[in-house]
Amino acid sequence: MNFIALTTNILVLNIFFVYGKKYEPNWDSLDKRPLPQWYDDAKIGIMMHWGVYSVPSAAGGEWFWGVWGHYGHPNSNSSQSKFMRNNYPPQFTYQDFARYFTAEFFNPDDWADLFENSGAKYITLTTKHHEGFTLWPSTYSPNWNAKDVGPNRDLVGELAKAVRSRNITFGTYYSLYEFYNPIEGKDKRNHHKTNEYIRRKMFPEMLELVEKYKTEIIWVDGDWEGKAEYWNSTGFLAWLYNESPVKDTVVVNDRWGLKLKGHHGDFWNLKDNFASVTLIKHKWEGTRTLDLWSWGYRRNMNLDSLVPTKDLIRLLVRDVSCGGNFVMNIGPTHDGRIDLVFQERLLDVGKWLKINGEAIYKTRYWTYQNDTVSQFVWYTKGQSAVYAIAIEWPKENVLQLGSANELFVNKKPIVTMLGYPDKLKWTITNTPNKTVSITFPNRATVKGEWAWALKIK
Ligand SMILES: *[C@@H]1O[C@H](CO)[C@@H](O)[C@H](O)[C@H]1NC(C)=O
Ligand SMILES: *[C@@H]1O[C@H](CO)[C@@H](O)[C@H](O)[C@H]1NC(C)=O
Ligand SMILES: *[C@@H]1O[C@H](CO)[C@@H](O)[C@H](O)[C@H]1NC(C)=O
Ligand SMILES: *[C@@H]1O[C@H](CO)[C@@H](O)[C@H](O)[C@H]1NC(C)=O
Ligand SMILES: *[C@@H]1O[C@H](CO)[C@@H](O)[C@H](O)[C@H]1NC(C)=O
């Protein structure tokens, strides 16, 4: 090594140690960060919308205040205004709801047990939705947080501790936008030439959330209200990826500014309830609410607005096969319960995953997503096997596969059905395309329902 090379090396090392900064606050640099592997391995998550809106828990859900209006519109015909007129005294404000957000039945260990039994490997809790109310005692949101009003508890801290004791990763949702924050309103009137809301409220609050709770998912929302430049998104992410206590493990979604969905972030959400039936090579998350009409709890929910278990399993299988993670959203109640019907759905999914988890967790997408001949069969790839997951039972108990030839022709794979003890018989038909036919067991002898995973090894 000559002198010049040596000094250059020392210089480079010095620069690295002095600044220690791998990522610059621009998208080109931030986009180079590799996805932390745990997220792609985890596959299954639960999102929860919980806040002051869980008190009225009426039409509009988590948007209740936004559609009702700041001081209410006594003459407006919106269903929220009618609801308030018919059920509350005229002077009742949205803030008055906060004291009824009691959470007296909230037992974080019970929730964590439920999540564990649902097979979820991570959760994402709304720590602040558009209403601005924080579920932790935010320094920057006095008297509008769960410690000062309502439950008088640090809901974020309590839940983080309980889920982590079960090896479930703790993640948080945070809305950039707030419905009626006056400082944000002022910035808006200034056409975002000022950024007082970012400096005084949002940015310090996000730092507090990360530093205090070491959250490993930052799921932002309300992005459409401003450009990424206003939100200081690249500034926040550079801090998060370089310096934060979770810099090596944290993952973020894609809602970092107006029209940026599907462009940046460790995983993409694209839009609410997004689904894909074709491969998306960038990591994505299908985030689905179990009550189709709301993300927060609605007391007036009906069974027909609930996604049936069978559909959930199908979505789960399709998402994973197409490179996505699968997340189910539920709205807990104001008093800290998780509705029985949500519990039942989550446990159903858990029951399915207990048998079929091997075809889901830690897998990657395969060459084909669904089969060319049996389009209801979706593939995943494990460490040493390919899984073909049938979301319908095949006609006459024989499954025809058109995309799996490379696993069968001139090979002798063993085909099993997860949860079923015996090997399955298969043949290659003598058609030009060499379709593979696999004989399913008698349906009455098979344990699982909803979808059946074949292991081809
Ligand atoms: C509410 O509905 C009534 C009857 O349709 C209508 O006359 C009135 O203008 C509406 N009020 C508002 C604020 O839209
Ligand atoms: C959590 O994971 C760690 C490390 O993988 C393991 O040692 C521990 O037993 C796990 N705990 C539970 C409760 O599963
Ligand atoms: C933007 O982010 C950077 C951190 O990368 C920070 O130093 C700066 O203060 C932030 N700006 C505002 C307005 O919050
Ligand atoms: C399955 O694959 C076919 C192509 O083989 C494609 O046209 C179709 O959209 C895919 N998805 C579904 C849900 O069938
Ligand atoms: C066989 O493969 C060809 C070419 O890939 C395709 O056009 C044809 O539809 C296939 N036939 C069957 C029965 O799958």
435 and 384 share one domain:
yes
pLDDT, residue 270, reads 93
State the Cα torsion 42-314-320-221 to the nearest 10°.
-70
18 and 117 share one domain:
yes
Model confidence over 254-282: pLDDT tens digits? 999 999 999 999 999 999 999 999 999 99
Residue 59 identity (one-letter amino acid): A
pLDDT, residue 18, reads 44
pLDDT, residue 431, reads 81
211 and 324 share one domain:
yes
Q: Does the beta carbon of 370 sit less than 6 angstroms from any atom of ligand 4? A: yes
Query: How far is Cα 360 from Cα 321, in angstroms, rounded to an integer?
Result: 9
353 and 389 share one domain:
no
351 and 381 share one domain:
no
308 and 411 share one domain:
no
pLDDT band at 383 (very low <50, low <70, confident <90, very high): very high
161 and 299 share one domain:
yes
Residue 331 lies in domain: 3-55+101-359
Model confidence over 297-320: pLDDT tens digits? 999 999 999 999 999 999 999 999
Task: Please check whether residue 78 lies inside any domain of the structure.
Answer: no
pLDDT band at 20 (very low <50, low <70, confident <90, very high): low
- Give nearest CA residue, ligand 2 atom 13: 166
Any idea which ligand is nearest the CA of 373?
5
Question: Ligand 3 center to residue 196 CA distance, Å?
Answer: 12
Among the three residues 359, 393, 420, which one is the final residue of a domain in this structure? 359
Residue 6 has pLDDT above 80, yes or no: no
Relative to beta strand 44-48, strand 415-417 is unpaired
108 and 203 share one domain:
yes
Residue 258 identity (one-letter amino acid): L
pLDDT, residue 3, reads 44
294 and 385 share one domain:
no
265 phi-psi bin (left φ>0, alpha ψ -120 to 50, beta other): left
Task: Please check whether residue 72 lies inside any domain of the structure.
Answer: no
pLDDT, residue 74, reads 61
Task: Please check whether residue 90 lies inside any domain of the structure.
Answer: no
Q: How many domains, the chain?
A: 2
Residue 127 identity (one-letter amino acid): T
- Give nearest CA residue, ligand 4 atom 4: 372
Question: Ligand 3 center to residue 11 CA distance, Å?
Answer: 27
Task: Please check whether residue 332 lies inside any domain of the structure.
Answer: yes
Q: Which whole number is the average pLDDT over 291-298? A: 97
Among the three residues 327, 359, 391, which one is the final residue of a domain in this structure? 359
386 and 303 share one domain:
no
Any idea which ligand is nearest the CA of 165?
2
412 and 307 share one domain:
no
Instruction: Report the CATH number that the domain containing residue 400 is assigned in CATH.
Output: 2.60.40.1180
Q: Which whole number is the average pLDDT over 1-20? A: 47
Among the three residues 329, 359, 389, which one is the final residue of a domain in this structure? 359
Q: DSSP per residue over 225-282, as a string?
A: GS-HHHHTHHHHHHHHHHTSTTTTT-EE-S-SSTT-TTTSSSSB--STT---SS--SS
276 and 175 share one domain:
yes
pLDDT, residue 77, reads 80
- Give nearest CA residue, ligand 5 atom 5: 433
Strand partners, 388: 379, 454
Task: Please check whether residue 273 lies inside any domain of the structure.
Answer: yes
pTM score of the predicted model: 0.93
Instruction: Report the CATH number that the domain containing residue 251 is assigned in CATH.
Output: 3.20.20.80
Task: Please check whether residue 257 lies inside any domain of the structure.
Answer: yes
